[in-house]
Amino acid sequence: MRLHDRVAIVTGAAGGLGATYAQAIAREGGRVAVVDVLDGEGTAQGMRALGRQARAFQADLTDEEQVQGMVRQVREEFGRIDILVNNAGGAGQQTAESEIEKIDRAHWDEIIAINLTTTMLCIKHVAPHMKQQRSGKIVNVSSRAARGTAWFGQVTPEYIAAKIGIIGLTRQVAKDLGPHGITVNCLVPSFTVSGPALQNAWDRMTEEERNHMIEATPLRRLPDPAELASVVVFLVSDESSYVTGACLDVNGGSLMA
């Protein structure tokens, strides 16, 4: 029980990897606020079945007032905030367009907002509570796409830009919040088939794209969601007490290819 009685906010946790991260924290004894623009009650119910305090909060995290309201409600219900996992984001629904002159401005704004702006707003409104406690653990979720150009055709420049921005934000905020006893780190995961959106992305790939992704990974496989969740648990536990400003690549060695 590495996280016994600690209160965690996990965003984008109604399903997919966010739900996996939330469940892993609950299994380690954490109490979890499941936050998503969708209804996360199913995820929360699963954690309550483990005997953990959990509640779903539905909020559009691109809206600062809704972020403020969500953080206030979590504090009122749980009494404190020890952990923030910024997982909310995604590539959107529009068909990928990689040529810069064809990028749709509205789509650009949407992808930057749901990935980078949500991360910034959640940190902005959680940080004062962590400062007051003189402790806290923040994990931001980026993407392997932030480590280079897209390695399959459905990743857009706006998604890459947003995920690179999360890495830069992580480092600067780690520097700013470190004196207050708060660590800020970044998970940089490889593509993972988890949840309907990512399953659909995998299904839309050509056989050549799938094979290229596997062959470009020294471990010759995609990650299991639990392998990513274990890194999140490490980063929000006392085991990482002297780790901050780090970006941990969990990609099966694909950056070496």
Q: What are the residue numbers of the active site?
A: 159
Tell me how far apart the alpha carbons of residues 134 and 181 are, in angstroms, rounded to a whole number: 5
CA-based angle 93:96:100, to the nearest 5? 130
Amino acid making up residue 177: L
Tell me how far apart the alpha carbons of residues 184 and 173 are, in angstroms, rounded to a whole number: 7
Tell me how far apart the alpha carbons of residues 106 and 236 are, in angstroms, rounded to a whole number: 35
Amino acid making up residue 105: R
CB 67 within 8 A of CB 125: yes
Tell me how far apart the alpha carbons of residues 234 and 193 are, in angstroms, rounded to a whole number: 22
Residues whose CB is less than 8 angstroms from the CB of residue 244 and which lie 6 or more positions away in sequence, other chains included: 174, 178, 183, 184, 185
Beta strands in the chain (DSSP E): 7-11, 31-36, 54-58, 83-86, 136-141, 182-189, 247-250
CA-based angle 25:83:10, to the nearest 5? 60
Amino acid making up residue 227: E
Amino acid making up residue 175: K
Decide: helix, strand or coil at residue 174.
Answer: helix
